[in-house]
């Protein structure tokens, strides 16, 4: 190995700082000295948030910290928007209104990163079960980056005009927070944004690089619960029962034909049965089986077809087996696809490529994950989400060579490379916001 990890890190930071300095003369770059000056505040907020994660819709302390930071920066702050949501508004004359979304919530994941600032938090979930909590999706990173950006916008009012809104959104992981904030008047009680922007960290890029995806970038996501009913009895006498386990097994196999045989091969679609529960013991045929599905798609007509076909097949398989009643099919959670407004996305991508170099701003293909950032577009606001590389660049290169897969968001081992991820995030948000709010 030609370089130690530390040498690579130092080299990387130097290159990063040089690249920022080189562009300091243009109106979209933020001098690295300014980023360095806010960094200690951003880092200590990040460490505090990382050590003290909170679950979806219970982000009270997190929201209070964000509100306090924004108030100190001179923002007009409103709390308890859609539950624990925070809205910070900074007005700077007439001009466009742009919102930046950062998520407040963490996940019920036991942190295994071994970091000095790892979370040891446990809490009771909504079912009353004690669970570990970790910022395994990097929402702490997004919040801290957004505060750095909010600070620099407040310090550089001569470089932009219009209204900037920091939105601290609860419960992204339960895809309910954006909807709750909109219902509570996010676009009516506050200036309605002309554009919405977000960054999300990824293990698919090294720190220092970002990617963009015009059009669909994340899928519709529907959670479906299905209960299949039978007639229970002794495992040795199946002729006296209607076995719901066999019905469930046949139903699952037939569901696989929906994507394979009913959907246009050019249209992405996924049906995954992530959970199946039925029965208690070897020799008892139960009287019901419960299944939980996640269903992914981009287009509305594909989504409708998938959901209708799941129900049609469940009902038909139960009827074929002579089940005593129709299965219960319930849509329990839904979120629309993230569609990055192509005009906005390409505009920002061109600007970011100009500021950070083409090699550092890559085009990424769409994925089948989901995010309730989609709600803001449904509310009539052109929006885009930029993916932010969060992997230590040396580790990223090593993994590329060895083919090893790196921990992704939601993994207990996911640990963003702190300083370059935070600094790049701030520089990228500043460039994107100055493009949208910049003086003509
Ligand atoms: Zn997540
Ligand atoms: Zn996330």
Q: Residues 397, 402, 405, 406: is their CA dihedral positive or negative?
A: negative
For residue 169, give the ligand nearest its CA.
2
Question: What does the chain come to in residues?
Answer: 440
Q: What local confidence, expressed as pLDDT, does residue 74 receive?
A: 98
Classify 24-218+337-436 by CATH class.
alpha beta
Residue pair 378/202 in contact (Cβ under 8 Å)? The answer is no
Selected residue with higher pLDDT from 15 and 198: 198
Q: What is the pLDDT of residues 192-203, one digit of tens each?
A: 999 999 999 999
Residue pair 215/401 in contact (Cβ under 8 Å)? The answer is no
Residue 347: enclosing H or E segment and its boundaries?
helix 342-356
Residue pair 142/387 in contact (Cβ under 8 Å)? The answer is no
Q: pTM for this one?
A: 0.86
Q: What local confidence, expressed as pLDDT, does residue 14 receive?
A: 52
- Ligand 1 centre distance from Cα of residue 50 (Å): 14
Mean pLDDT of 345-349: 98
* Local confidence band at 359 (pLDDT 50, 70, 90 cut-offs): very high
- Ligand 1 centre distance from Cα of residue 373 (Å): 12
Question: Rounded to whole angstroms, how far apart are CA atoms 394 and 401?
Answer: 11
Residue intervals in the chain for CATH 3.30.70.360: 220-335
Which residue, chain included where needed, has tokens 């306090």? Answer: 68
Residue 6 in this model has a pLDDT that exceeds 70: no
Residue intervals in the chain for CATH 3.40.630.10: 24-218+337-436
Q: What local confidence, expressed as pLDDT, does residue 27 receive?
A: 85
Instruction: Give Cα 35 to chain centroid, integer Å.
Output: 25
Residue pair 435/348 in contact (Cβ under 8 Å)? The answer is yes
- Ligand 1 centre distance from Cα of residue 3 (Å): 33
- Ligand 1 centre distance from Cα of residue 70 (Å): 24
Closest CA to 97 of 197, 230, 17: 197
Q: What count of Cα atoms within 13 Å lies in the side-chain half-sphere of residue 20?
A: 22
Q: What local confidence, expressed as pLDDT, does residue 16 receive?
A: 54
Residue pair 421/388 in contact (Cβ under 8 Å)? The answer is yes
CATH topology of domain 220-335: Alpha-Beta Plaits (3.30.70)
Question: Rounded to whole angstroms, how far apart are CA atoms 268 and 212?
Answer: 19
- Ligand 2 centre distance from Cα of residue 106 (Å): 9
Q: What is the pLDDT of residues 261-311, one digit of tens each?
A: 999 999 999 999 999 999 999 999 999 999 999 999 999 999 999 999 999
**Order of strands, edge to edge, in the sheet holding 361-363?**
76-81, 85-92, 162-169, 97-103, 195-206, 383-391, 210-212, 361-363
Question: Rounded to whole angstroms, how far apart are CA atoms 123 and 374?
Answer: 29
Residue 368 in this model has a pLDDT that exceeds 80: yes
- Ligand 1 centre distance from Cα of residue 325 (Å): 37
CB atoms within 10 A of CB 26: 12
E strand map for 42-96: 76-81, 85-92
Question: Rounded to whole angstroms, how far apart are CA atoms 23 and 32?
Answer: 10
For residue 142, give the ligand nearest its CA.
2
* Local confidence band at 439 (pLDDT 50, 70, 90 cut-offs): confident
Instruction: Give Cα 420 to chain centroid, integer Å.
Output: 20
Q: What local confidence, expressed as pLDDT, does residue 155 receive?
A: 97
- Ligand 1 centre distance from Cα of residue 35 (Å): 27
- Ligand 1 centre distance from Cα of residue 139 (Å): 8
Question: Rounded to whole angstroms, how far apart are CA atoms 219 and 387?
Answer: 15
């Amino acid at each position: 190995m030609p370089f130690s990890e530390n040498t690579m890190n130092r080299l990387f930071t130097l290159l990063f700082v040089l690249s920022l300095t080189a562009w300091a003369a243009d109106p979209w770059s933020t001098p690295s000295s300014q980023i360095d000056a806010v960094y200690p505040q951003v880092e200590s907020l990040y460490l505090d948030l990382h050590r003290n994660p909170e679950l979806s819709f219970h982000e009270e302390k997190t929201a209070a910290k964000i509100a306090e930071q924004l108030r100190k920066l001179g923002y007009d702050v409103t709390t308890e928007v859609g539950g624990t949501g925070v809205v910070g508004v900074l007005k700077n004359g007439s001009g466009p209104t742009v919102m930046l979304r950062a998520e407040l919530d963490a996940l019920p994941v036991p942190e295994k990163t071994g970091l000095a600032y790892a979370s040891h938090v446990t809490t009771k979930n909504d079912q009353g079960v004690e669970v570990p909590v970790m910022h395994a999706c990097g929402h702490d990173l997004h919040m801290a980056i957004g505060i750095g950006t909010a600070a620099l916008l407040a310090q550089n009012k001569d470089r932009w005009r219009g209204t900037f809104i920091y939105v601290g959104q609860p419960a992204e992981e339960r895809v309910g927070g954006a909807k709750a904030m909109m219902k509570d008047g996010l676009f009516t009680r506050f200036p309605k944004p002309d554009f919405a922007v977000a960054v999300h960290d990824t293990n698919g890029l090294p720190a220092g690089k970002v990617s963009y995806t015009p059009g669909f970038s994340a899928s519709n996501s529907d959670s479906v619960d299905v209960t299949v009913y039978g007639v229970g009895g002794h495992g040795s006498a199946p002729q006296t029962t209607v076995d719901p386990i066999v019905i469930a097994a046949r139903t699952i196999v037939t569901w696989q034909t929906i994507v394979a045989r009913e959907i246009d091969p050019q249209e992405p679609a996924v049906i995954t049965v992530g959970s199946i529960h039925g029965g208690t013991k070897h020799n008892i045929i139960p009287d019901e089986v419960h299944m939980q599905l996640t269903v992914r798609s981009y287009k509305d007509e594909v989504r409708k077809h998938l959901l209708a076909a799941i129900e049609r097949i469940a009902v038909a398989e139960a009827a074929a087996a002579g089940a005593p009643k129709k299965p219960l099919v319930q849509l329990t959670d839904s979120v629309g696809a993230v569609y990055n407004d192509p005009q906005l996305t390409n505009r920002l991508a061109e600007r970011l490529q100009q500021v950070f170099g083409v090699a550092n701003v890559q085009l990424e293909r769409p994925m089948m994950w989901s995010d309730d950032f989609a709600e803001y577009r449904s509310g009539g606001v052109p929006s885009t989400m930029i993916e932010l590389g969060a992997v230590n660049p040396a580790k990223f290169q090593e993994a590329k060579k060895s083919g090893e897969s790196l921990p992704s968001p939601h993994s207990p081992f996911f640990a963003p490379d702190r300083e370059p991820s935070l600094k790049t995030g701030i520089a990228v948000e500043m460039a994107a916001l100055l493009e949208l709010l910049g003086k003509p």
